[in-house]
Each structure stands twice: as C-alpha cells, then as structure tokens.
Amino acid sequence: MRDSFDILLLPGDGIGPEVVGAARGVMDLAAEHFGVKLRYEERKIGGEAIRDEGGPVSDETLEAARASDSVLLGAVGHPDFDDAPVRPEAGLLKLRKHLGAFANLRPVAAVPALLDASPLKKEVVSGVDVLIVRELTGGAYFGEKEEGDERASDLSVYTKEEIDRVARVAFDAAKRRKRRVTSVDKANVMATGRLWRKVVTEVSKDYPDVELDHVLVDAAAMHLVREPGRFDVMLTENLFGDILSDEAAMLPGSMGMLPSASLGEPGSPGIFEPVHGSAPDIAGQGKANPYAAILSAAMMFRHTLGRPDVAEAIEQGVSVALEAHFLTADLGGSKTTEQVAEAVGRWIGAGE
C-alpha cells in the first residue's frame, strides 16, 4: 500500500473553499492516524480563475491535475457570471475532459439520523444504499448538434469501448458492495440502448459473482422512489444518469450529504467533489454542510489512492458525528462547518 500522495485542491467559488478546508482538516487527521503523508497544491478554478487568471481553468492547473494523484474540488459558479461569455462551469468540463474522467460515481445512502429530512416516507428510504455509475463523456451531450428555431437535434452515440470501460467500473464497485448491478437503458426503442445492453451483458461474464439485471429507464425512475432499497449499483449512460442521480439525490433529503467521484482509466487521477453547487446564498457564513466534501475525500482514498482503510475510518467518523447530531442548518441543526469537521476528525476510526 502506498503511503504518500500528492493532492491538488481546487476549492473554487462560494462555499467551495469552506467545505474543501473542512475536508482537508479531516484528511490531515486521518492521514496522521494511519501514518500517511499528504502533500497539497492549491489552485484556482471557476469564477475566481476567470477573475484572476483570465479563464475558468488554466493550462498550468490542468497539468497540475494530471501530475497529481487526485483532485479534490469544491464547487464552481456564481450569479455574477450568469450572462458572461465564459462561465465558471466550463472549467469543470475542461478538467473532466483533460483527465479522461468517463465514469461518475454517486453513492446515495440513507442516514439513520436524518430520515426525517427526506421528502419520502421513512420506511421507503430506510436502508437505502445505491451507487449510481453514470457514463460521463459520451451520449447526447457530446454528439453532433444541430441548433435551430424550427428544427434541432442532439445525436447520441456510444461505442462498444465506451460502454465496456464504464461497465467494468460498475462491476468492480459491485464486488465491494452487495454484488448486484442494475443496468438502465431504453433498449426497447433506442439503438444505443440495445448496444448498451449487449456490451454490459458481455462484460458481466467476467464477473460471475455479480448479479446483473436490466431495467428500462422509465421503470427505473419509478422504482427509485417506490422501492429504492432494491438497488445496489445502478449503471447508466450520460443523459439518463444525469436525471436519475438528481432524483436519487432527494432520497437523503439534503444535497449537502452527497459526494461524487469522476474516474478515468486506472492509474489516472480522479476528481472528487460534492454534488452540490457553490451555494452563494450561504457562502462565507460558516453554515455550509461539509459532509459531502468530507465523504468525497473518503471516496478519494478508496477509489484512486488505494487506501480503503482510511476511507472507512473517515466514514465512521461521519456516522458517529451524525448520530451525535452534529448537524448544519440545512439538516435542521445549528452547528457550523468547522464544528462538524472537528467532530468528524475526533471520531475518525471510531470503533476500530
């Protein structure tokens, strides 16, 4: 196991610096606990990069990302740039493309201490633990486009290779979980859906201990609110994954709880970031919920740094802090960002 890593921090805009600062504090304590050495470099992305460097992400920052072991990102975006020619979000898309981050992982788990925060019934949400694996660089978002007032089109293209590599990410993740992959497509009406289903079925032969089923995307959307507990790993293409992951994000009740990872080829640095945005309405007030950023740091240890032991210790700290009601305002509590991070740090590896 490696025990020394170079981490690029990209705090970004709004509450980004607050939640990344909180996550860094937790990472440092976890590293100390395990005798791991973390070296950080911090750079700009998003609105602050446009202001200070003339673009949403500089070439130097892209190179620093590629040279790092992993990237921890806060959030990008600010209303000041809503009508600007270059938007902060462009920095994030460029970074994902530069690192070839084709698989987006979003775990969504019900938190026993937070069941009341969910808009769904407690008995529906209780025990939910889904990992959505979304293909991130293909499909209708990246195909040939025709703009127009009378006619417009977005071409959705998938190759066997693109489906194969993201399917392997999902099956590998399932091996560490409940060993079930639900592949979501629209094979009854879409050619890309039929290829998707064929390739995923082929890949599944390399994972005999993982169970695979196929569900049409409309049915999947229904099951996700009716019986979310039936899913373990949910694998899907770009557009469907965008929609389903936001639907799933509502299960735990707050965006402030959800981490994500964007992964490329094995050995390439991943991008780890909370699902939420820069929350300009609460920026600079110490109110931001840092759990999503802290859990993103845990995913980094698991998925690219090869230290699942450190990831689990951080996740244990989070569980204990939540049970002890260290909750920010979005969760109905009154703790500050820093108080939550300190609590997680205190309970790192609790019960080991």
Quick one: 105 or 212, whose CB is closer to ligand NAI? 105
- Interface pattern 13-32 for ligand NAI (x via CB under 6 A): --x---x-------------
Distance CA 291, CA 134 (A): 22
Encoding tokens for residue 132? 């959505």
- With binding defined as CB under 6 A, does residue 256 bind ligand NAI? yes
Query: 190 to 249, contacts with ligand NAI by CB under 6 A?
Result: none
120 binds, among Mg ion, ligand NAI, none (CB under 5 to 8 A by kind): none
Choice among 52, 59, 116, 246 that is catalytic: 246
State which of residues 135, 162, 232, 330 lies at the interface with ligand NAI (CB under 6 A).
330
240 Ramachandran zone, left/alpha/beta (phi>0; psi -120 to 50) = alpha
Instruction: Give the list of residues 6+ apart from residue 2 with CB closer than 8 angstroms, or none.
Output: 305, 306, 307
Phi, psi of 80 (to 5 degrees): -55, -25
Distance CA 33, CA 154 (A): 50
Encoding tokens for residue 48? 């602050």
- With binding defined as CB under 6 A, does residue 11 bind ligand NAI? no
Choice among 44, 69, 186, 330 that is catalytic: 186
Quick one: 91 or 349, whose CB is closer to ligand NAI? 91
Instruction: Give the list of residues 6+ apart from residue 208 with CB closer than 8 angstroms, or none.
Output: none
- With binding defined as CB under 6 A, does residue 288 bind ligand NAI? yes
In the bound complex, what is the minimum distance in angstroms from residue 282's beta carbon to ligand NAI? Answer: 5
Residue 291 a catalytic site member: no
**CA 83 to chain centroid:** 27
242 binds, among Mg ion, ligand NAI, none (CB under 5 to 8 A by kind): Mg ion
- With binding defined as CB under 6 A, does residue 263 bind ligand NAI? no
> How many CA atoms are closer than 13 Å to the CA of 10, on its beta-carbon side?
32
Q: What share of the chain is helix, strand, coil (3-state, %, to 5)?
A: 45, 20, 35
* Contact between residue 94 and residue 232 where contact means Cβ atoms under 8 Å apart: no
Residue 206 a catalytic site member: no
Query: 72 to 101, contacts with ligand NAI by CB under 6 A?
Result: 75-78, 89, 92
**Using the 8-state DSSP alphabet, how is residue 135 labeled?**
E
* Contact between residue 132 and residue 260 where contact means Cβ atoms under 8 Å apart: no
In the bound complex, what is the minimum distance in angstroms from residue 30's beta carbon to ligand NAI? Answer: 20
State which of residues 28, 242, 247, 338 lies at the interface with Mg ion (CB under 5 A).
242
Tally Cβ neighbours within 10 Å of residue 16. Answer: 30
* Binding site, annotated residues for substrate: 96, 106, 134, 218
Residue 309 a catalytic site member: no
- With binding defined as CB under 6 A, does residue 255 bind ligand NAI? yes
Residue 154 a catalytic site member: no
State whether the Cα torsion 36-33-114-327 is positive or negative.
Answer: negative
Residue 6 a catalytic site member: no
- With binding defined as CB under 6 A, does residue 250 bind ligand NAI? no
- With binding defined as CB under 6 A, does residue 282 bind ligand NAI? yes
Distance CA 47, CA 229 (A): 39
Quick one: 242 or 312, whose CB is closer to ligand NAI? 242
Binding site for Mg ion (CB under 5 A): 242, 246
Binding site for ligand NAI (CB under 6 A): 15, 19, 75-78, 89, 92, 255-256, 273, 276-282, 288-289, 292, 328, 330
Q: Which residues are part of the catalytic machinery?
A: 141, 186, 218, 242, 246
